[in-house]
Amino acid sequence: MSLTNAEKFECPYCMTYNDLEIDEANDVGQQQIVDCQICCSPIELSIIDNGFGIEIIAKRDDD
């Protein structure tokens, strides 16, 4: 049994989808900075539980 869930989010720079493993017990409510798997730009991620499931909000690092 895996403790993580595979999720996808769209890069705000190049608009391609990136994969992310989320550990719901530790990652929800946290912010992370990850690099896009395609264009390597820094992305600021907010991982929240919106009541219907996990939501990933991806923003440009310079916003």
- How many helices (H) does the chain have, and how many strands (E)? 1, 5
Residue 1: band (very low, low, confident or very high) from pLDDT cuts 50, 70, 90: low
Is residue 22 left, alpha or beta, with left meaning phi > 0 and alpha meaning psi from -120 to 50?
A: beta
pTM of the model: 0.83
Q: How many domains does the chain have?
A: 1
Give the pLDDT confidence score for residue 38 in this predicted structure.
96
Q: Which residues of 5-23 are buried (b: 16+ CB within 10 A; e: fewer)?
A: eebebebbbeeeebebebe
Quick check: 43 pLDDT over 80? yes
Q: Which domain holds residue 24?
A: 5-60
CB atoms within 10 A of CB 33: 9
Quick check: 32 pLDDT over 80? yes
